[in-house]
Chains A and B, each alone.
Chain A
Amino acid sequence: MPRIAGIDIPERKKIRYALRYIYGIGPKIADDILSAAGIDPDRRASDLNDQEIAQIAGIIDQEHLVEGALRRQVSQNIQRLRDIRAYRGDRHRRGLPVRGQRTRCNARTRKGRKKTVAGKKGVKG
């Protein structure tokens, strides 16, 4: 079972799709890596030999931020916004949309599940 960038073990799928199971690698970067390594993107992950795996791992190590390191960078960026007391940091703190979207309705991704407030007759308890 191939092992790339820590604990990720994508297998049985074509390598160009398998690589996307790594956090930080999407369609574009997966194809970039394979063309840099000169590996046919349509081969199955399980068909690659150790040397090819090592080659892919090497390219990722050198050129791409993935998994833990990438997650750390993202949360550091957010923490920075909070620390300087910027508007965007405040929106992160409150769990509201950061990029100026409306919040009168929708925005459920940031606000979480609906919290129904008892009020007029129409709302069921």
Chain B
Amino acid sequence: MGRSLKKGPAVNERLYRKVEALVNENRKAPIRTWARACMIVPEFVNQTFQVHNGRQFVDVFVTEDMVGHRLGEFAPTRFFRGHTNKKEGIKRGAK
């Protein structure tokens, strides 16, 4: 089911204000955030975010195409490196 229009897009207020401040001063700086559920609005374009994935911050540079998606969609939380190899007893490609 879609979101009610009355509410507008799900944008984290504090994050939005930070972006606004950056845009007003016409400068760019990566913004650290945990707000993975925050919708990307047009004002975010060309800004860099560091989105938390549960362990570290992933750099996300927002392009026009990303508007309408959420920040978390670009910071994967799971990394699958293949199944355990029975003979060797180690993971393939493990570091």
Q: Which residues of A contact B (CB under 8 A)?
A: 80, 83-88, 90, 117-119
Contact = CB atoms under 8 A, between A and B. Distances in A.
The 7 lowest CB-CB distance pairs between A and B, nearest first, are A86-B73, A87-B73, A84-B65, A84-B66, A86-B69, A85-B74, A80-B65
Interface in B60-91: 63, 65-66, 69, 72-74, 76, 83, 86
Contacts of A84: 63, 65-66, 69, 74
5 contacts: A84-B63, A84-B69, A85-B74, A117-B83, A119-B86
Interface residues of B, number: 10
A116 to B, nearest CB: 13
Contacts of B72: 87
A26 to B, nearest CB: 22
Nearest to A83: B65
Task: State the majority secondary structure of interface residues on A.
Answer: loop
Contacts of A80: 65
B7 to A, nearest CB: 23
Interface in B26-73: 63, 65-66, 69, 72-73
A118 B85 CA distance: 11
A20 to B, nearest CB: 28
Of B66, B69, B73, which is in contact with the most chain A CB atoms at under 10 Å from its CB? B73
Given A117-B83, A119-B86, A88 B73 contact: yes
Nearest to A86: B73
A85 B66 CA distance: 9
Contacts of B69: 84, 86
Nearest to A119: B86
